[in-house]
Chains A and B, each alone.
Chain A
């Protein structure tokens, strides 16, 4: 087996504690980024939905943010905010916005007209309509957006080691520097595993939150 020559199992067992610690750091960095991204996206989406003309500029700006390479973004941010958590999160959050806003807006736009007409015909205020009808019906799209954002962010967090943050990036970077394959590989595999676990969790949350859509197979 490859593992015999390539993976140093002894190292792996000696560092289980470090791996757990890195997992927590990685999850926290991701969690902060996705939550802040979601809050910001909800606000921007509400603006886009309320004033339609703002939607194009909003997707434009978040689209540009999305395409800036992460290394370049750090380079711009570090002189201002230093090698800090803030720098890392600003970068991470900015990558979630496009995906989340697009999914929120298209989810809410996708609510069928007859449902909207019925709900306003029954005397729902615009606010009640948003909270009781549009948001719940947009949930499949919103959760799909959160899944993509979370998985993307988990991958990106590995890069934040370059500005002094923790997480699996520490293993990867150190493994590369020391030319120690085991460590780099462990960092990579853990990152992939975390992405899979988080994705499955979100699928589960979606099922619980949307019993009506269960048979539709989301």
Chain B
């Protein structure tokens, strides 16, 4: 059955014993195979609770959870957990086991022979680019970022089809965090695991997830959509406030330059006359002119240098300092464009000149 969701929450409710308020309220949500879903919301909104109900560390009070179509209550919790990668919020490496032994924990529990376990550990060191010298160190020797990576490698060790990650990049500084996120995307591109990732960083959710579930206190699902749709159409005031006032800019970070129409810009052929160049500058209202033929951009000259020149070919051309490749995001582009003297950036696909991206073009994307 190709259309069975990898994970399905159906009208799930969780009320902890002795607590009057629900931690999760009537929540339904499906995660497709191969999809990355981010759970995000304020502290205490039930993200960890939701995650732990998938591998039965916590049992729901009502409702049903299915993994690949099977009600989790019908599976043995130990077997179920060995088949699901789990990265806990506090990393939780075993302090008395070396890094390699930590990573090999689940394969060992599954009874793999030593040689296979060590081969797999090597593979994971490679995959997450951990220094092989760390193999025989203990977790207390590692930096925060290294620990988090070991935590992720350990969860991946037995190659489970599903990964549950509770703030996997939580306890590290922003730079390390960015690097870990980048690595996550690369690894995910290769492995395509069904992943549920908890975060309280909306930017992380937007960058990493195919769909984002925004939760409110009491485990109420406010919106569950792809990042783009959430940024474009926030379902309600809560989601809106959660996204923050730079929602428009966040949207730009998701749009590649290739998604907007580039302009030919204030550009003329190198063989054009001085008159044609002046006309073009006037039409665009700029004091510079680019020289381009087809997909070759020769350079640009400031308007005042046209005075007294006989033809364009005799002028010394300046190189475009503001240029971008077509796979950059509009947010990157905005940064380049606003800091450029020409208020426009030349866009290339490899060596091929595609056109100009102007501040106005980007501005239109913020408004819509």
Contact = CB atoms under 8 A, between A and B. Distances in A.
Interface of A: 112, 114-115, 117-125, 128, 133, 136-137, 210-213, 215
Given A121-B57, A122-B81, A122-B105, A212 B138 contact: yes
B109 A122 contact: yes
Contact of A119 (B80, B94, B140): B94
Contacts of B82: 122-123
Contacts of B105: 119, 122
Contacts of B83: 123
B57 A124 contact: no
A133 B96 CA distance: 8
10 contacts: A114-B88, A115-B94, A119-B94, A121-B52, A121-B55, A121-B81, A121-B92, A122-B81, A124-B109, A210-B96
Given A121-B55, A121-B88, A122-B86, A115 B95 contact: yes
Contacts of A112: 92
Contact of B109 (A123, A136, A212): A123
Nearest to A211: B138
A213 B90 CA distance: 20
A112 B140 CA distance: 14
Interface of B: 52, 55, 57, 78-83, 86, 88-97, 105-106, 109, 138, 140, 154
The prevalent SS among residues of A at the interface is helix
Contact of A118 (B80, B94, B96): B94
A118 to B, nearest CB: 3
A126 to B, nearest CB: 9
A212 B106 contact: no
B241 to A, nearest CB: 32
B221 to A, nearest CB: 24
A136 B109 CA distance: 17
A165 B323 CA distance: 94
B110 to A, nearest CB: 8
Contacts of A115: 92-95
Contacts, number: 65
B78 A114 contact: no
A132 to B, nearest CB: 8
A70 B81 CA distance: 52
A114 B151 CA distance: 12
A128 B82 CA distance: 13
> Which of A115, A123, A124, A133 has the most chain B CB atoms closer than 10 A to its own CB?
A123
Given A117-B92, A122-B81, A128 B138 contact: no
Contacts of B93: 115, 118
Given A136-B96, A212-B138, 18 more contacts: A114-B88, A115-B95, A118-B92, A118-B93, A119-B92, A121-B52, A121-B92, A122-B105, A122-B109, A123-B83, A123-B106, A124-B109, A133-B96, A137-B95, A137-B96, A211-B138, A212-B97, A213-B96
Contacts of A212: 95-97, 138, 140
Contacts of A136: 96
B107 to A, nearest CB: 10
B109 A117 contact: no
Contacts of A117: 57, 88, 90, 92
Contacts of A128: 109
Nearest to B137: A212
A8 B88 CA distance: 68
Given A115-B95, A137-B95, A123 B79 contact: yes
Given A114-B90, A212-B140, A123 B81 contact: yes
A208 to B, nearest CB: 13
A114 B86 CA distance: 12
B96 to A, nearest CB: 5
Contacts of A121: 52, 55, 57, 81, 86, 88, 92
A210 B93 CA distance: 16
A124 B109 CA distance: 7
A212 to B, nearest CB: 4
Contacts of A211: 138
> Which of A118, A211, A212 has the most chain B CB atoms closer than 10 A to its own CB?
A118
Nearest to B83: A123
Contacts of B94: 115, 118-119, 133
B106 A122 contact: yes
A210 B94 CA distance: 13
Contacts of A119: 92, 94, 105
A21 B80 CA distance: 59
Contacts of A124: 78, 109
B307 to A, nearest CB: 72
B86 to A, nearest CB: 4
Top 7 A-B residue pairs of the complex, sorted by shortest distance between their CB atoms: A118-B92, A123-B82, A123-B81, A114-B90, A114-B92, A121-B86, A212-B138
> Which of B89, B91, B94, B97 has the most chain A CB atoms closer than 10 A to its own CB?
B94
